Amino acid sequence: MTDVPVSRIRNFSIIAHIDHGKSTLADRLLQVTGTVSSREMKEQFLDNMELERERGITIKLQAARMNYTGEDGEQYVLNLIDTPGHVDFSYEVSRSLAACEGALLVVDASQGVEAQTLANVYLALEHNLEIIPVLNKIDLPGAEPDRVKGEIEEIIGLDCSGAILASAKEGIGITEILESIVHLVPPPRDTVQEKLRALIFDSYYDPYRGVIVYFRVMDGTLKKGDRIRLMASGKEYEIDELGVLSPNQVQVDELHAGEVGYLAAAIKAVQDARVGDTITLATAPASAPLPGYTEAKPMVFCGLFPTDADQFEDLREALEKLRLNDAALQYEPETSSAMGFGFRCGFLGLLHMEIVQERLEREYDLDLITTAPSVIYKVTTNTGEELFIDNPSHLPDPQHREKIEEPYVQVDMITPEEYVGTLMELSQSRRGVFKDMKYLTQGRTTLTYELPLAEVVTDFFDQMKSRSRGYASMEYHVIGYRENPLVKLDVLINGEPVDPLATIVHRDKAYYVGKALVEKLKELIPRHQFKIPIQAAIGSRIIASEHIPALRKDVLAKCYGGDISRKKKLLQKQAKGKKRLKAIGTVDVPQEAFMAVLKLQ
């Protein structure tokens, strides 16, 4: 690796909405700078995880160091620090932006600015980043660069006279982008002489080398063999391996202020080297850590129970392994009278929750029952004690509580004008408080609501997408707790309360939710040889009730030569469906029933 002076380093990230072409552009930059040969180029080099590729989103960050000879003949080192593209991971975005001096704002020239992009641009502006607007997909017939430029200027207030017209796919505008990075993005401050401070912007667990930490050296110098201290966790390690990402790991002996790299130091779990923590030298520690470190706090909770009780230990092991690599994942054992042993898990958001569930089922081959997501409620008891409740079944009885507060978020949506009505209706129906509406440009509107987080973590995002035919986008951030008249809605199956089905709802919606919930459960729970009452109750008061009629027969009338194969398939399908049932007392309940509260019309 060539040693370059700080003045010829440029650190930048790319801000873009899903599908606006971030990964393609990143790939193209790697290719044009010769960092990755065309032969090595898998499509979308930076999205490594199988799930990321499938969903077309970036979950874990990556970084890449590129050598670039500018048109001025100078050798530059360009470090691209990738950012995850989802609202659940905004803390990680802020840390990777803090490691940069500039950002490419990539906007699809046929679409325009989306809510998530906007949120990230504001984050970048907070960090004083130089922002270079790039209009991507300029080759598409629907491209409207002038309209989109106008939109960026109006919405963000960013001068777009110098915006680069590009097509990452076709290789248009790539050199211009590289030159702009060199000329517009400021070099890092030259603080090589100061005490070491390096910012961790990502880490992952490697079973052979321990945690691999990705960092940006902000001040000073770091050498292989140095003893380092992580300022937030206070832990000390000796560096076994130091290197840069090009984008594959290449070992070096030393990194100095301005450079981006990775290290391995036999760190056992990612929570020991959290994103945002500051690395300093144990022998000559910096006096203060870099600003901005917080521990990512889970916002959404759910119970995870193995369908088969024998898988409990497997589930524990799988969660332990995932946690090595995911500091934001929290879990603790949960025992439910209905479900047996499982775990209460905390996630950054719904996507994070889905990803973890999917990985558990896919990579660890577990059959799981997931209970409906819940948020953390703040309950004040009669004795003035404040409790944080992440599990509806743990809510103290009404006579013991003074008040319940629930987390609120500000939701910003950007939508074509014609969907404003239906999105307002959606927000109102979810107890939203209207805050603001702005016409951005012709046909595009921002809509701001304050909503209880509990209403957002159900199917708000899916509803927003389907009501706007996929055109609207949203972003949310927590704004605090508010008191509301909330009640616990219990569900009784065959007379027995089923705690994982309990949910906390607004008093005014309780009757409606209870009725819809028992109707949905009636649909989802198969018939048994006996009649099964299903009831929704608040305290001891039944507010809705249905019953599943008894099964009177289950028999194949005909089975002759020609029927055998088909009838067997039928039975096999029926058998498979049965297998995924969870026995609650004498009633077998399918997995979907535990998510029923999310599927109410």
- Positions touching another protein (CB under 8 A) are 529, 551-565, 567-568, 571-572, 574-576, 578-579
**What is the Cβ-side half-sphere exposure of residue 478, based on CA atoms within 13 angstroms?**
20
Query: Please, what is the minimum distance in Å from the beta carbon of residue 518 to another protein?
Result: 21
Least Å distance, CB 563 to another protein, is 8
Q: Which CB sits closer to another protein, 400 or 573?
A: 573
Spatial contact of 201 and 215, defined as CB atoms under 8 Å apart: yes
Query: Tokens at residue 326, please?
Result: 């995911």
Q: How far apart are CA 486 and CA 478, in angstroms?
A: 19
- Integer Cα distance of 464 and 361 in angstroms: 28
Nearer to another protein, 266 or 559 (CB): 559
Residue in this structure with the two tokens 């999917």, named with its chain if needed: 358
The whole-angstrom separation of Cα 411 and Cα 454 is 13
Nearest approach in angstroms of CB 548 to another protein is 13
In whole angstroms, the minimum distance from the beta carbon of 580 to another protein comes to: 10
Give the C-alpha separation, 239 to 226, whole Å: 6
Least Å from the CB of residue 562 to another protein: 4
Helix 174-184 to helix 22-32 angle (10° resolution) is: 80
CA–CA gap between residue 151 and residue 115 (Å, rounded) = 13
Q: Give every CB contact of residue 496 below 8 A, 6+ residues apart in sequence.
A: 338, 584, 585
In the bound state with another protein, the residue whose beta carbon lies nearer, of 403 and 578, is 578
Return the structure tokens found at 348: 């950054």
Question: What is the rounded CA–CA span in Å between residue 280 and residue 582?
Answer: 51
- We find the least distance from the C-beta atom of residue 519 to another protein, in angstroms, to be 17
Minimal distance in Å, beta carbon 412 to another protein?
A: 46
Instruction: Pick the closer one to another protein by CB: 435 or 578.
Output: 578
Hey, which residues does 371 pair with through a beta bridge?
A: none
**Would you state the structure tokens that stand for residue 375, as one six-digit string?**
């948020």
- Decide the pairing of beta strands 164-165 and 197-206: unpaired
Minimum CB distance to another protein, residue 365 (Å): 14
Measured from the CB atom, the residue of 541 and 552 that comes closer to another protein is: 552
Distance between CA atoms of residues 132 and 142, nearest Å: 23
Question: Nearer Cβ to another protein, position 438 or 569?
Answer: 569
Quick one: 386 exposed, middle or buried, by C-beta within 10 A (0-12, 13-18, 19+)? exposed
- Closer residue to another protein (CB): 175 or 574: 574
Cβ proximity to another protein, 284 vs 571, nearer residue: 571
User: Least distance (Å) from another protein to the CB of residue 589?
Assistant: 16
- Rounded least distance, CB 498 to another protein, Å: 23
Which is nearer to another protein, 39 or 558 (by Cβ)? 558
CA-CA distance, 41 to 32, in Å (whole number)?
11
For the chain, how many residues are written? 601
Q: Can you read off the two tokens belonging to residue 179?
A: 């030159």
Of the chain, the end-to-end C-alpha distance in Å amounts to 59
Nearer residue to another protein within complex by CB, 234 or 562: 562
- Find, among 188, 121, 123, the residue nearest to 157 by Cα: 121
Give the Cα separation of 42 and 193 in Å (integer).
40
CB nearer another protein, residue 437 or residue 571: 571
Q: How far is the CB of 556 from another protein (least distance, A)?
A: 7
Other beta carbons less than 10 A from residue 341's beta carbon: 15
| Torsions phi, psi for 224 (to 5 deg) | -60, 135
Measured from the CB atom, is 41 or 559 closer to another protein? 559
Q: Least distance to another protein from the beta carbon of 552, Å?
A: 4
The one-letter code for the residue type at 223 is K
- Looking at the DSSP bridge assignments, the partners of residue 263 are 213, 242
How many angstroms separate the Cα of 213 from the Cα of each of 12, 196, 250, 285?
A: 19, 16, 14, 19
